[in-house]
Structure 1
Amino acid sequence: MKLKAAAAVVAVLTLTACTGEQPKEVTPEVPHGYVEGAEEAAEAQSRLIVADAETGAVRVVDLITEEVHETGRVDGVRALTGDGRFGYLTARDGTVRVIDSGAWMVDHGDHVHYYRAKVRDVGVVPGKQPLTTYSDPAVSALSYSDGTAMLLDRARLDKGTVAELGKITREPHAGVAVPYSGHILASVADPGKPLARGVRVHDRQGKAVSDVQEPCPDLQGQAVTRRGVVFGCSDGALLVTEKDGAFSGAKIPYPRAVTAQERATAFFHRPGASTLAARAGETAMWALDVGRQSWQYVETGPVAAVNAVGEGGPLLALTRDGTLRSYDGAGKEQASVQLLTPEATAADIPSLQVDTTRAYVNNPLSADVYEIDYNDNLRRARTLKVGGKAGHIVETGR
């Protein structure tokens, strides 16, 4: 693949000679989402942040050039989350280090902007391991198990500085906070309850402004789509949308009664896409079509990881025997390929990352990351050698 970059260009208006006027320079227009020092590109600048769980080595892999950037170490790294640009790595002592992958996109609904910049180690975020991390161009929200959420100034983070913008404090529970439509959607719990009961709307400094009236009992799992933000509830999914500054929720009920073990508690999808995948217990997965507001139950066998490509695309499942499988929207298996050994899926649940054309599966026992063309019968397009062991991965720039 060849790198296609389109830098911002200073426009010069040249008047016709008959006017007798000299050409005038026009101030260049700053692209939406531009960050100083970045370069706008014509296509996604996808990269992988890879962490070796044994040595703590952190690397960023450019998926266009295959260049591997050594990016320091995180002692005893035990978790990695991402927000589309930054990786948040939890160390053995619970501290969180932020790595700037130097690749991101800004989605404006009818079009997107892609950017690339230098890879860098931003520094340490105050606090301990976050449960989730979500960002928009103004704020990055990190949620913690004590019910709090830290709001970081995204503009400062883009420049390489960790700076707190605000904080959300709630009853202690496994909470979540998601930037959406100029606000923060955050879970809210009753005193003494470990799980949330619904969603509250906050401003960007963390002040509560309203509640979403539709309840979401035992809230677990969330996803940001172009149709709104989805939250997993014990009785289905809650879709929260905004119109004219007002936030409302619509329930998408399960097609049948489900047990606590088989309900969806974590959603996976291609960024922005409105088809979501979730594990349904140990031997199946759910596919949630947000546009049609419908669920599909897919029997997969013992499952390690799942993901969804998007509307009209396949559902993907990595089963415990190390086989990657694809299914159509009706749940019928279309293709399969053996990627890992059963030992690899048992040692550490591999990640299944998806973008607009490829899927990526890491082998936690080796330096291999497999690039899969999911539109071509799960053809293995490349085997990327990332150095060390690919214990944790997250894709950025998409």
Structure 2
Amino acid sequence: MKVKAVAAVVTALTLAACGAEPRGEVTAEVPHGYVEGAEETAEAQSRLIVADPDTGAVRVVDLITEEVYDAGRVDSVRSMTGDGRFGYLTARDGTTRVIDSGSWMVDHGDHVHYYRAKVREVGVAPGKQPLAAYSDPVVSVLSYSDGTATVLDRVALDRGSVSELGKIAREPHAGVAIPFGGHLIATVADPGKPLARGVRVHDRQGKAVADIDQSCPELQGQAVTRRGVVFGCADGALLVTEKDGAFTGVKIPYPRNVTAQERVTAFFHRPGAATLAARAGESAVWSLDVARRSWQYVETGPVAAVNAVGEGGPLLVLARNGQLRSFDGAGKEQTAIPLMTPEAAAADMPTIQVDSTRAYVNNPLSAEVYEIDYNDNLRRARTLRVGGKAGHIVETGR
């Protein structure tokens, strides 16, 4: 495939490389990541964006104060994805509304800044029903099932408006584009193929600067960790890392031959953490330790939702019978508790959101979100009632 077909980003994207970077420069008096009107805090200001698919009501729950903020309505919410601060909600007509949760962090590796601000509606983003959203301090990128991706000005989003910098146009496929290492990593597909076969690195102007020489056949699923970006492949996982501007791909093969039903199609993890979880068919789960580059296959029984806490932490599984279960790194079950009805668990909408101390599980048939202390035998620490139905949730500020 020619580079022009893989990525054609408009000239305005130059702003992301040259114009936006200086705007992010700070003086000694202004902490890095600060946005006018925001308050820097000493601890994470975690919040939940919760959407009711029936009424379209969108609410933001402050997990410290338990205050619930009205964040407007989105007609018949079909899906929601988040990037750590903003929620991107797809309405019945496919349009994407952007909600600012007013909670975020700036991670410098050796230290973290936490901020809080007012909840607000930002506006409508270009494109229809994003598959994924990823951000860095300069850009936010929404990826769509037709192979396109929209690059938004993150500084403008922080200030409360949607400003498109450009688009990435590729062969139509269910792919993603991810800001990483000051570049954009975009999936690559062959003409007529629904899934990607690998990834390519582009600069912020859209110019291809490197091909990752490791293939990733039938690419599905991705995760951004502190150790690099991980993609799910038919034959394992592809880890892409960056050092001094050079990008490298390393394959982490499955420990055995897997069927099409067993292979990874989506990863779940605590933001930044390098231990990933994924379904392995209907009745088992994969745990991928990126640091050790090793897989663990865990037979769990029918799975409704899954997530991984991180290195040394448990693997969390919501079973189809409504039980929440935890497994250790060797795949041995530690604890199981009843959490919701089988009907709610089987509704194909529950998710498990994980931060450094708690997990949050939504009951899509009620107004309840359950806060779980996963370090204390899955103790239900709180039941948060948000009004309406907690059909879709994403956590921010982590």
The answer to whether the superposition gives a TM-score over 0.5 is yes
Counterpart-to-counterpart distance in 1, 2:43 and 2:146:
40
- 2:120 matched to which residue of 1? 120
How is 1:25-40 mapped onto 2 (pairs within 5 angstroms)? Answer: 29-40=29-40
- 2:280 matched to which residue of 1? 280
- 1:24 matched to which residue of 2? none
Paired residue type of 2:275:
T
- 2:378 matched to which residue of 1? 378
**Mind listing any 5+ residue stretches in structure 2 that lack a counterpart?**
1-26
Counterpart-to-counterpart distance in 2, 1:199 and 1:382:
42
Counterpart-to-counterpart distance in 2, 1:332 and 1:346:
24
How big is the shift at 1:265? Answer: 1.0
Question: What do the CA deviations read for 1:142-161 (whole angstroms, capped 9, x no partner)?
Answer: 00111011110100111011
- 1:266 matched to which residue of 2? 266
Question: What do the CA deviations read for 1:40-70 (whole angstroms, capped 9, x no partner)?
Answer: 1100000000000110000000000000001
Counterpart-to-counterpart distance in 2, 1:206 and 1:371:
42
Counterpart-to-counterpart distance in 1, 2:205 and 2:388:
41
Structure 1 stretch 208-217 or stretch 73-82: which is displaced more? 208-217
- 1:209 matched to which residue of 2? 209
Counterpart-to-counterpart distance in 1, 2:163 and 2:207:
18
- 1:178 matched to which residue of 2? 178
How big is the shift at 1:247? Answer: 0.6
Counterpart-to-counterpart distance in 2, 1:127 and 1:328:
41
- 1:337 matched to which residue of 2? 337
Structure 1 stretch 285-294 or stretch 336-345: which is displaced more? 336-345
Q: Is the 8 A contact 2:58 2:74 kept in 1?
A: yes
Counterpart-to-counterpart distance in 2, 1:167 and 1:371:
38
Q: Is the 8 A contact 1:230 1:240 kept in 2?
A: yes
How big is the shift at 1:213? Answer: 1.1
Q: Is the 8 A contact 2:287 2:296 kept in 1?
A: yes
Question: What do the CA deviations read for 1:362-384 (whole angstroms, capped 9, x no partner)?
Answer: 01111100000000000000000
How big is the shift at 1:246? Answer: 1.0
Paired residue type of 1:175:
G
1:295 maps onto 2:295 in alignment: yes
1:148 maps onto 2:148 in alignment: yes
Structure 1 stretch 198-207 or stretch 348-357: which is displaced more? 198-207
Q: Is the 8 A contact 2:304 2:348 kept in 1?
A: no
Paired residue type of 2:91:
A
Counterpart-to-counterpart distance in 1, 2:302 and 2:187:
31
Counterpart-to-counterpart distance in 2, 1:205 and 1:56:
37
Question: What do the CA deviations read for 1:115-147 (whole angstroms, capped 9, x no partner)?
Answer: 101100000012100111111111101001110
Percent identity over the alignment is: 82
- 2:157 matched to which residue of 1? 157
**Across the two proteins, how many residue pairs are aligned to each other?**
372
**Mind listing any 5+ residue stretches in structure 1 that lack a counterpart?**
1-26
Secondary structure of 1:158 counterpart: helix
How big is the shift at 1:28? Answer: 5.0
Q: Is the 8 A contact 2:242 2:248 kept in 1?
A: yes
How big is the shift at 1:349? Answer: 2.4
Structure 1 stretch 159-168 or stretch 311-320: which is displaced more? 159-168
Secondary structure of 1:344 counterpart: helix
Secondary structure of 2:288 counterpart: strand
Q: Is the 8 A contact 2:349 2:392 kept in 1?
A: no
The higher relative CO (CA closer than 8 Å, separation ≥ 6) is in: 2
Counterpart-to-counterpart distance in 1, 2:397 and 2:356:
11
Q: TM-score, normalised by structure 2?
A: 0.92
- 1:134 matched to which residue of 2? 134
Greater C-alpha radius of gyration = 1
Counterpart-to-counterpart distance in 2, 1:128 and 1:260:
29
Counterpart-to-counterpart distance in 2, 1:28 and 1:283:
53
1:47 maps onto 2:47 in alignment: yes
Q: Is the 8 A contact 1:189 1:198 kept in 2?
A: yes
How big is the shift at 1:185? Answer: 0.7
Q: Is the 8 A contact 2:146 2:173 kept in 1?
A: yes
Counterpart-to-counterpart distance in 2, 1:124 and 1:203:
26
Paired residue type of 1:166:
G
How big is the shift at 1:324? Answer: 0.5
Q: Is the 8 A contact 1:145 1:172 kept in 2?
A: yes
Paired residue type of 1:298:
V
Q: Is the 8 A contact 1:165 1:205 kept in 2?
A: no
Secondary structure of 2:346 counterpart: helix
Secondary structure of 2:343 counterpart: helix
Counterpart-to-counterpart distance in 1, 2:168 and 2:209:
12
How big is the shift at 1:348? Answer: 3.4
Q: Is the 8 A contact 1:372 1:379 kept in 2?
A: yes
Q: Is the 8 A contact 1:151 1:206 kept in 2?
A: no
Q: Is the 8 A contact 1:168 1:207 kept in 2?
A: no
Secondary structure of 1:347 counterpart: coil
Paired residue type of 1:50:
V
Q: TM-score, normalised by structure 1?
A: 0.92
